[in-house]
Every structure is written in structure tokens, then in C-alpha cells.
Amino acid sequence: MSDRGIALITGAAQGIGLACAEALVDDGMAVILADINGSVLDQAARLGGAGYLCDFSDPTATLALFDQIEAEHGPVSALVNNAGINISGDFLEYDLDAFDKVLSINLRAVFVATQRAARSMVAGQIAGSIVNMSSINAQVAIPALSAYCASKGGVMQLTKVAALALAKHNIRVNAVGPGSIDTEMMATVVTNPDAMKVAMSRTPLGRTGTAREIGDVVAFLCSQKASYITGETIYADGGRLGLNYTC
């Protein structure tokens, strides 16, 4: 493994998670990719890292993943909590099971993985970095995304809490809040000219971002170039949050 340490990226089979892994490899870190999607194993092999299958909605599976990684590779020095889902629906009809499912992956799993990684960092006196994937929807809301918006708002606050709690151990905790990024989650917008026009009307830079642009921000936060940054959410959104309207 690299002298720069080991980075674990959750939800790393595709999209932003995979781009984070690629950016971290380019920055000299060894990477461990984990996802419920089996293609993560091939992606890990391509990047010269290790790949694991894990359902992050299951806390027991998440903790077992850390045990296995530490037994086979040692503790991680960087954790990227990227695994996430979105289930949209009318607010008045929104299903409680769907709400719980979104929060179990988008928020509870972030807490479980952050706590578990931090325990090993503290025990090993590792000056680690934890980066959580938030969203502009931690700040602005969309009526059909009640669970998603709630989960990302929770990630923003959890990031601050963890940063304060872990600062004395020299562990930094930050988040990245993407705007409109050209990934599978935005595919229905990109392929719909009317929807795309609306999305770009609220993006001052006038284009979608790329997954690698988010990955590069994550790599920065995991590096010593960000050594005095903790408890922050960096919004990579093409200027979206500077506007005073949301839809």
C-alpha cells in the first residue's frame, strides 16, 4: 500500500465515488473501493486497489467491512462516505419505508462508518481525514426529495459535530456538496431538454459539473493542502447557492 496511506471510498462502483477513487490514486494514495454493486471489484482491480461488496444500509455489514479491511490491509487514513440513494415522491404520499431506507444509507451509514474509522485512527494515532458527500440540497430544498434533503442536511450537521469531536485527535472531517453533476442520478434531467434548461438557468457557470471535478475536491480535502480545514462543507455547484431562488 502507498506511503500516503489508504483511502476507503464507499459507493465507489461508479459516478462520483469512482471519480473520488481515481483522483485519490492520482494523488498518490492507495484505494479501497466498496459498494453493493459487484462492478466495484473490477474497478478496484483497474485502479490497483482492493474492492469489497458491502450493503451500507446494514450497520453490521459496515462494521464487518472495517474489520476485514484492517485485517487484510491495516487501518485507513482517509474515509470518503459517498454511498447514497434518492427516492423521490409526493410529500403527502411519501412512504415511511422509503424515508427510512434513504436515511439508513445517506445518514446513518455515514455516522457508523465515521465512528468506526475514527476509533481506529485514534487508536493508531493516525492524523486522518474523513470526507462526507453532502449536496446543495443540504441548503436548498426540492418538494419531491423530502428524505434526500433531510439526509443531506443531516450530513452537513454530522460533519460539524464529528469535526469538533475529533479535532483533538488531529482528525479532520469535512463534506462536499455537489450541485448538478453529470452522473446517473441526473440522467433524466440531462436527456430532457426542458428540464436541462431549468437546471442550467439556476447554474451561473451554465454547465453541469463532472464527477472528476467533485473527486478533485475530495482529494484536496484528504491531502495536507487542506490541513487547516475541518468542519466545512465545500459546495461545488457552479455558483448555484449564490442565487436567491431554488426552482
| pTM reported for the whole predicted model | 0.93
Please report which residue ranges of 47-167 form alpha helices under DSSP H.
Answer: 59-72, 96-103, 109-123, 146-166
| Residue pLDDT, tens place only, 141-200 | 999 999 999 999 999 999 999 999 999 999 999 999 999 888 776 666 667 777 778 878
pLDDT confidence of residue 225: 98
Q: Are strands 78-81 and 50-53 parallel, antiparallel or unpaired?
A: unpaired
Q: Which of 52, 148, 235, 245 is catalytic?
A: 148
pLDDT confidence of residue 185: 66
Return the CATH fold of 6-181+211-236.
Answer: Rossmann fold (3.40.50)
* pLDDT band for position 244 (cuts 50, 70, 90): low
CA distance 40 to 29: 18
CA distance 239 to 93: 33
Residue 179 — φ and ψ, nearest 5°? -95, -130
pLDDT confidence of residue 215: 98
One-letter amino acid of 133: M
Is the confidence at residue 7, as pLDDT, over 70? Answer: yes
Burial class from Cβ neighbours inside 10 Å (0-12, 13-18, 19+) for residue 79 reads buried
How many residues belong to the chain?
Answer: 247
Domain ranges of the chain: 6-181+211-236
CA distance 97 to 94: 9
CA distance 172 to 194: 41
Integer angstrom CA distances of residue 80 from 24, 163, 199, 239: 10, 14, 27, 24
Place of cell 472528476: 212
Q: Which of 130, 203, 207, 120 is nearest to 162 (CA)?
A: 130
| Residue pLDDT, tens place only, 18-57 | 999 999 999 999 999 999 999 999 999 999 999 999 999 9
CA distance 172 to 6: 15
- Told to judge if 148 belongs to the known catalytic residues of this protein, a careful annotator would answer yes
Q: Are strands 129-133 and 172-178 parallel, antiparallel or unpaired?
A: parallel
CA distance 3 to 30: 8
